[in-house]
Amino acid sequence: MESVIKGAGNAPHRSLYHALGMTNEELDKPMIGIVSSYNEIVPGHMNLDKIVEAVRMGVAMAGGNPVVFPAIAVCDGIAMGHVGMKYSLVTRDLIADSTEAMALAHGFDALVMVPNCDKNVPGLLMAAARLNIPTVFVSGGPMLAGRVGGKKRSLSSMFEAVGQYNAGNLSDEGLEEFECKVCPTCGSCSGMYTANSMNCLTEALGMGLRGNGTIPAVYSARIELAKHAGMAVMEMLRRNIRPRDIMTKEAFDNALTVDMALGCSTNSMLHLPAIAHECGIEINLDIANGMSAKTPNLCHLAPAGPTYMEDLNEAGGVYAVMNELNKLDLLHTDCITVTGKTVGENIKGCVNLDPQVIRPVEDPYSKTGGIAVLRGNLAPDGGVVKRSAVAPEMLVHEGPAKVFESEEEAQAAINAGKIVAGDVVVIRYEGPKGGPGMREMLNPTSAIMGMGLGTSVALITDGRFSGATRGACIGRVSPEAASGGPIGVVRDGDIISINIPENKLEIKISDRELAERMASFTPKTKELSGYLKRYAAMVSSGATGAIINK
């Protein structure tokens, strides 16, 4: 802040700070920006005002001058299934850009990022990497699980309940009970969906304090965590520990390893490459299968299984998972973190308190990780599936394609009963460029599950699937149709072959036939305007993280 505040030449700047009511005593302290994602439309953000106030107190207690400024946020659940979802992923770059602009325009000494839901966390991590000033993350925390019929439930249960209702297997009253009970508190939705995946990975990367990914939003421990985050950033500033000191190649290896063990959302494989790119580190999808091959899957959190974020927290959280992985020497334990300590120092003594929630490495759910990248003539640049959430009988599947040019077309066919056991639903022109915005497809995947077809029908798309999705759902098939990818030439009735253990995704036609189709293929275009038009013109492939101006 010296370039903004100190000296006679900066008297005009100081006059404006005095207009804010700041005293000379405040101006003598380091100015710490608190980036608040608070709003009144996202359930995961409605408590962030409390988190921000706690951060302010922590910063002030440690000798800083806290100043709050905002970041936007879209609720993916509310945006799901309509044009609003086109605006979810694209906000990641708006968040990064606007935070960069605010931080540099006002010369902050350090930052505390207060995100919670899906695109906030990666967007602010991208900004932190660009700015490279001392930064700590503290999220709003996960929602508690709901209860319906004596069982824990979450948002994915709600979407699947709609499928049950449409199939005639759930009454109006039953649907209303789900509606009123599955989301009982504020917070990011209670399963291992994208928001919670990315918040957990802030711990694995070293950018968040212990518990940042798992302490429930409504627990007072979350307020204490926020105060400690405010104190931690002041110590980082004193020691000059910066994001790119923390987010090294080895730290991203750690994050990918923890990702595989936790069974995170496939969207993590969209965001981690984009964050790494801002750090000057390139992550390609091939790395994922290498990590998966040596990393056991230790957790089956919803939607993959019956446990929730509150259960992971009680079992010891992300650090307990990391301590299990460290038994196999899978982590780089000498990486520095926002605590000022190394990963090894952080996780020492963090034992697994519930082997039913966090499987010991000697007894994993599987010896390979929760995410797989598939390749083949249908996905030359790859497609991503949450392997840990696929039924065993669908790990290898062949079936006829049912091709749709949009999510809406596919949803209408599913609702009309036109999808039958054995089918492979193909949804195209939903990629970063073709959508544009790469919509999540939770509605169709949940409808398939709710109708009882989850063990017999697969879905593939050049768009993406929600972290709440389960089943043989392969997203981010690249190149996308709008960029001339092979998914654009699939026809109804073509046999699609999926082999997840062998990481293969293929269309069963001859090389000659595929070449002829590709030679005569002209991708469809859409009339666009506003931000989506600019985004579509600038965005890279989903295989490289949907990076702007790649």
In angstroms, the CA 386 to CA 365 distance is 14
In angstroms, the CA 183 to CA 376 distance is 39
Structure tokens at 136: 């700590």
Question: What is the number of other CB atoms lying within 10 angstroms of the CB of residue 245?
Answer: 17
In angstroms, the CA 478 to CA 260 distance is 21
Structure tokens at 49: 């005002």
In angstroms, the CA 94 to CA 124 distance is 10
Q: Are 385 and 472 in contact (CB under 8 A)?
A: yes
In angstroms, the CA 291 to CA 261 distance is 10
Q: Which secondary-structure segment (H or E) carries 172?
A: helix 172-181
Helix, coil or strand: residue 452: coil
Amino acid at 236: M
Structure tokens at 350: 């963090």
In angstroms, the CA 502 to CA 487 distance is 20
Q: What is the tally of helices (H) and strands (E) in the chain? A: 22, 14
Structure tokens at 182: 């599955």
State the DSSP code for 520: T
In angstroms, the CA 188 to CA 205 distance is 20
For residue 330, CA distances in Å to 250, 299, 333, 427 come to: 11, 16, 9, 37
236 — alpha (psi -120 to 50), left (phi > 0) or beta?
A: alpha
Amino acid at 362: E
If you search the block for the tokens 């090294």, which residue do you land on? 248
Q: Which secondary-structure segment (H or E) carries 499?
A: strand 495-499
In angstroms, the CA 303 to CA 157 distance is 8
If you search the block for the tokens 């709600």, which residue do you land on? 158
Amino acid at 394: M
Active site residue 541: no
Question: What is the number of other CB atoms lying within 10 angstroms of the CB of residue 191?
Answer: 29
Beta bridge partners of 35: 69, 113
Catalytic-role residue among 466, 478, 483, 541: 466
In angstroms, the CA 271 to CA 249 distance is 15
DSSP assignment of 187-208: SB-SSS-HHHHHHHHHHHHTSB
Residues taking part in catalysis: 466
